[in-house]
Amino acid sequence: MTTHTVSFQLNGRAVKPQVPARELLIHTLREQLNLTGPHIGCETSHCGACTVDIDGMSVKSCTMLTVQCEGSQMLTIEGLEQGGVLHALQQAFHEEHGLQCGYCTPGMITRAYRLLHENADPTEAEIRYGLAGNLCRCTGYQNIVKAVQSAAKKLAAAKAAPATA
């Protein structure tokens, strides 16, 4: 089997996995790069458990070939935490009880991350629409929406705070 070296930035570091031409990104992330945050759910792009952020877009990694990632910038749930400090979304999901079983949570948070970059102050309806491609079977979404709203407020407050020297 012929393999290809694919170079991309993953959570801020350069990686160069060797992959078969038809390997899905979700398998490379989990099996070769040992990132278990993105989950394999439906393998048809319906559930969103495998959502990652690639070049500023939410992508369902179960339907993308790794070779398509050449030269890209990729972020997974593992890359949101910085220096032991949870991202505002991760913290808000914890505080607002935005998860139950947790299976959808990494994809949900990663999608919400991109949503808040697209719209820093979304309404409840905009959050629900923005997360529509990510399914949760446990929560009923109310606390997920609250978590995204809470994170949006925290991020806005952090942005507005004067820088300290």
61 part of a folded domain: yes
Residue 165 has pLDDT above 70, yes or no: no
Q: Using pLDDT thresholds of 50, 70 and 90, give the confidence band for residue 164.
A: low
39 part of a folded domain: yes
* Span 32-38, average pLDDT: 97
CA 26 vs. chain centroid, Å, equals 12
pTM of the model: 0.93
The DSSP secondary-structure symbol of 103 reads: S
122 part of a folded domain: yes
Percent of residues, the chain, with pLDDT higher than 90? 88
Please give the angle made by the CA atoms of 12, 13 and 19, to the nearest 5 degrees.
120
Are residues 110 and 72 both part of a single domain?
no
Q: Which structural domain range is residue 7 located in?
A: 3-77
Are residues 110 and 73 both part of a single domain?
no
CATH number at residue 130: 1.10.150.120
* Span 48-64, average pLDDT: 97
For 87-144, write each residue's pLDDT tens digit.
999 999 999 999 999 999 999 999 999 999 999 999 999 999 999 999 998 888 999 9
117 part of a folded domain: yes
**DSSP readout, 124-155?**
HHHHHHHTTTS--SSS-SHHHHHHHHHHHHHH
Distance CA(66)–CA(70), nearest Å, equals 8
Query: For the chain, where are the E strands, in sequence order?
Result: 3-5, 8-10, 13-15, 18-20, 51-54, 57-60, 73-75
83 part of a folded domain: no
